[in-house]
Chain A
Amino acid sequence: MSTTPDSTLTFKDFKTDQQVKWCAGCGDHSILVQLQKVLAGQRTDRDHTVFVSGIGCSSRFPYYMDTYGFHSIHGRAPAIASGVKCANPGLDVWVVTGDGDALSIGGNHFLHAVRRNIGLKIIMFNNRIYGLTKGQYSPTSDFGTRTKSSPAGSIDHPIHPISVAIGAEITFAARAVDTDLEHLQYVLARAAAHQGTAFVEVYQNCTVYNNDCYSWATDRQTKHEHIVYLEHGKPLIFGNNRDKGLRFNGDEPEIVELAKVSPDDLIIHDERTHDPSTAFMLARLTHPEFPEPLGVFRAMEKPVYEDLLMGQLAAARDQQGTGNLQALFRAGETWDVA
């Protein structure tokens, strides 16, 4: 349903006539263009694609994407998108959200969309700050972050979005960085192809309120010391010289120098395993103690909500025939008055 034979599509066909109003240098620009490129590359049928967003800088996204779009209210995009998907399962439905939108005011809807494994592709721009309201700490801000609403430092502990998603039984979870264009496209393309709920966390720089919060992951000189790419079936190796790896020491992950261990000792990434515990561990690796994983944490097959929903309707019709109103009205005891 999502593709047409139109091979002439380019990313420009996904641009609207609306002026993009994000700040210069904002990571949102990059995510928009990479997704436009991915959709064009996949020959996506724009008429059968819907972008739903909540509130926040990221949530202006639908205005700039030439598909159907709905810019909704704070935190509620997964719920609105669920309604869209149930009403027309043939649509490709994307949710664009931010860390505050998805995990604070919308935390409940996020959890339950994930739990249902409904066919939504949820892209969460995580800049670890409230940008649109001008710079308060968010649910992913580091402990101690000083902002206008936390001048003495935030006393809230941050949550790890992917571990939250894993806890809610996510079937596809991935992470990318706004400036790593090729990898971002790869991750978005994987999400686009997933059946069920796909969750992508994008590390996104807010130039105004939280500038350089991911410089450790974007600086060309040093980033390979601080991030590790997840590749299915391959060992977790990182470092500028690819000389370090991650292995289990008992239940705990630890960094090892490749020179001192056998490659067989390293953790081999398995995005398809049913046991979520390794993915959960990976989701909790944080800079600077550990390299932070980028890529696909988890990609599982599991029955999809909208298929189950429509399947129950079809099964009922198979067994009982298509509904007849007059028969429905007369269900139970009736009597005639002459």
Chain B
Amino acid sequence: MGTATGTDVHSDPPRATPIRELAQAAVRFAGDSGDGMQLAGSQFTATSAMFGNDIATFPDFPAEIRAPMGTLAGVSGFQINFASRRIFTPGDRVDVLVAMNPAALKVNLPDLVEGGVLIVNEDEFTPANLQRAQYDGNPLETDAFRNYQLYKIPVTTQTLGAVRETGLGQRDAGRCKNFYALGVLFWLFERQLEPTIRWINAKFGKAPAVAAANRLALEAGYNFGETTEIFGERFRVRPAQLEPGTYRNITGNQATALGIVTAGELAGKPVFYGSYPITPASEILHELSGMKTFDVRVFQAEDEIAAMCAVVGAAFAGALAVTGTSGPGMALKQEAIGLGVMTELPMLIVNVQRGGPSTGLPTKTEQSDLWQAILGRNGDCPLPVLAAQSPADCFWATIEAARIAVKYMTPVVLLTDGYLAQGSEPWRIPAPAELTPIPIQHATDPLTFKPFQRNEVGARPWAIPGTPNLRHRIGGLEKEDVTGNVCYVPENHQRMTLHRARKIAGIVRDVPDQEVYGEPEGDLLVVSWGGTFGAVRTAVERAREDGQVVSHAHIRWLHPFPQNLGTLLKRFRRILVCELNMGQLEFLLRGNFLVDTLGLHKVQGRPFRVSDIREHLDALLGGQAS
């Protein structure tokens, strides 16, 4: 449970529960899919964020909307890591686990630290539920939990009792038990109830009985902690030192959607967002659909292919054209992305990666679309690819991608992943001055206009239909250099292929040099990309705190790679590439730079734990340094 920074036994009020100060704590709410665990988790998150903790969250839910109740397949969880210092991950393991039924207990117990707080809803440990969770007998009646601080609370009956006065039926009343559990946790961590009560009142304003019931359940849970004295201690996690500013909590998908709208405003362009619903990218579609006061034109296409094609058409017609998808959708879009590359139009493709191949693990994270982003499509078809590194960074990465797309007249792929998309962290809201305009130049002069005449960065002019006397035709066939007329001359194809490749390679002038955390040369460099930043950086930080000599380079631009990356890699004797796939970045580094690499590959649908990387570092560095 983080580092205990002191014990403080309060004497006022009398008989108050002792309070332990912690630098950081991780909590997980786990229950059945219908138990409202995501809601409880997000409320705990919002309250902790407003309190001033640095936070990182990770929801973990099944692909099925409602798996059979009480089964192992139906367990839904939400993890929050909160701290009085800067943190980058939701935490490897949890210090407090709330298990609302036997299945949730069984699935989540392995992640609870030894000595951790285990709160179970003992009402749900019925023979039927135990059987659904494949328990032989009731584990609560054994000494199976002697290494934890087990608190058995009759959450269901307590909740029903607390909300009785609202007159709600048993079923609706029972649905409030997530708020009861949340109330217990709020007491345990000295959190205020007001933000959640405000949220309840706003959310259930049209159903006063439901609002009242949820409020009563929340307060009853809190009061249970206050009055029963069953807990041996409470915990205090003080606010973190964050950069001054106004903050909000944000998920990766929310940040991506805000980035898209912002890019449109910065470019002075209507946004066209063409998309087909797909997990875990759909929230981007939902968010943008609600932003109609901006000029955001959302087109829910009939399929992934149509979504991409509509984006190509919208780009031709002059919109800031964007699509969002995930692995299988990305595969379907490849032909149309190739058309975007061939016609050299600006557009943004956001791929929220999930476990593959095929349908794979729709709700789980992975980084296995790097190859299809960089190497996909037919023909020599280069395009720029970058990856966001945290939920809030999705905002900045989206704007960066849009800026490159219009400057170089090219489709750009932004890779995020299910972990970033659904995970959240505090986002410092940028001031207007931090948002620099995205300059757009449209061709307007009929005397000088040639559709494939390139400028100093190799980009062709963007001449949009409706411009007087710039009528021209483009398409997927190879075009004559400069004029853009259809051309099958062999030498011309080679020349155009080179032009396209050089243009993309030239984007390196806008790619910042690769930074290194730690020494710029030496024995071991850990390399990562995308959503694994937090776990890898934390592991390297801790290794260095323990005296190990190891550096870290987190690559943001995957294509083109930063100018200095090759030189940098060669300054290390060993390179360890950590990624949630079977070695896709490794392959690219080897191919581009003729360096040898080691790989740490995890493909379990889950992000790295800090400990996954620490253990690997220890093995490579010969055990923990003293």
B455-470 interface (Cβ within 8 A of A): 464-470
Q: Add 5 more A-B contacts to A79-B309, A90-B466, A333-B249 (CB < 8 A).
A: A76-B309, A84-B314, A87-B297, A317-B293, A335-B247
Chain B residues near A329 (CB-CB < 8 A)? 248, 258, 429-430
Could you list which residues of chain A lie within 8 angstroms of chain B, going by C-beta atoms? 16, 18, 46-50, 52-53, 55, 62-63, 66-73, 76, 79-88, 90-91, 108-109, 111-112, 309-310, 312-313, 315-317, 320-323, 325-326, 328-330, 332-338
B623 at the interface (CB under 8 A from A): no
Contact between chains at B302 and A108 (CB < 8 Å) = yes
Nearest B residue to A109 via CB reads B306
Number of residues on chain B facing chain A (CB within 8 A): 72
Task: List 16 interface pairs A-B (beta carbons < 8 Å), by A numbering.
Answer: A63-B473, A68-B473, A73-B335, A73-B476, A79-B307, A80-B312, A82-B306, A83-B274, A83-B314, A83-B315, A86-B314, A112-B301, A313-B296, A326-B432, A328-B291, A334-B429
* Count of inter-chain pairs, beta carbons less than 8 A: 211
Nearest A residue to B309 via CB reads A79
Q: Out of A67, A313, A321, name the residue touching B471 (CB < 8 Å).
A: A67
Contact between chains at A79 and B310 (CB < 8 Å) = yes
Contact between chains at B246 and A88 (CB < 8 Å) = no
Assembly CA distance A65 to B466 (angstroms):
15
Chain B interface SS verdict (over half):
mixed
Assembly CA distance A55 to B309 (angstroms):
14
Stretch from B104-112, B225-233, B317-325, B496-504 contacting the other chain: B317-325
Cβ of A7 to closest chain B Cβ, rounded Å? 18
Contact between chains at A50 and B258 (CB < 8 Å) = no
Known: A47-B465, A81-B313, A338-B244. A88 touches B475 (CB 8 A): no
Assembly CA distance A169 to B23 (angstroms):
63
Q: Out of B49, B466, B474, name the residue touching A47 (CB < 8 Å).
A: B466
Nearest A residue to B427 via CB reads A329
B474-500 interface (Cβ within 8 A of A): 474-477, 485-486
Nearest B residue to A326 via CB reads B432
**Contact pattern, B 294-306, Cβ under 8 Å of A = 1, otherwise 0:** 1111010111011
Chain B residues near A86 (CB-CB < 8 A)? 272, 297, 299, 310, 314, 319
Nearest B residue to A334 via CB reads B248
Assembly CA distance A111 to B306 (angstroms):
12
Assembly CA distance A52 to B343 (angstroms):
13
Assembly CA distance A14 to B307 (angstroms):
31
Assembly CA distance A133 to B280 (angstroms):
39
Closest 4 CB pairs of A and B: A83-B313, A71-B475, A83-B310, A323-B294
Cβ of A78 to closest chain B Cβ, rounded Å? 8
B262 at the interface (CB under 8 A from A): yes
Known: A83-B272, A87-B318. A72 touches B475 (CB 8 A): yes
**Contact pattern, B 230-265, Cβ under 8 Å of A = 1, otherwise 0:** 000000000000111111110000000010011001
Nearest B residue to A115 via CB reads B302
Contact between chains at A108 and B303 (CB < 8 Å) = yes
**Contact pattern, B 48-86, Cβ under 8 Å of A = 1, otherwise 0:** 011010000000000000000000000000000000000
Contact between chains at A313 and B297 (CB < 8 Å) = yes
Nearest B residue to A77 via CB reads B309
Known: A84-B465, A88-B466, A313-B292. A337 touches B302 (CB 8 A): no
Chain A residues near B267 (CB-CB < 8 A)? none
Contact between chains at B314 and A69 (CB < 8 Å) = no
Chain A residues near B535 (CB-CB < 8 A)? none
Chain A residues near B485 (CB-CB < 8 A)? 18
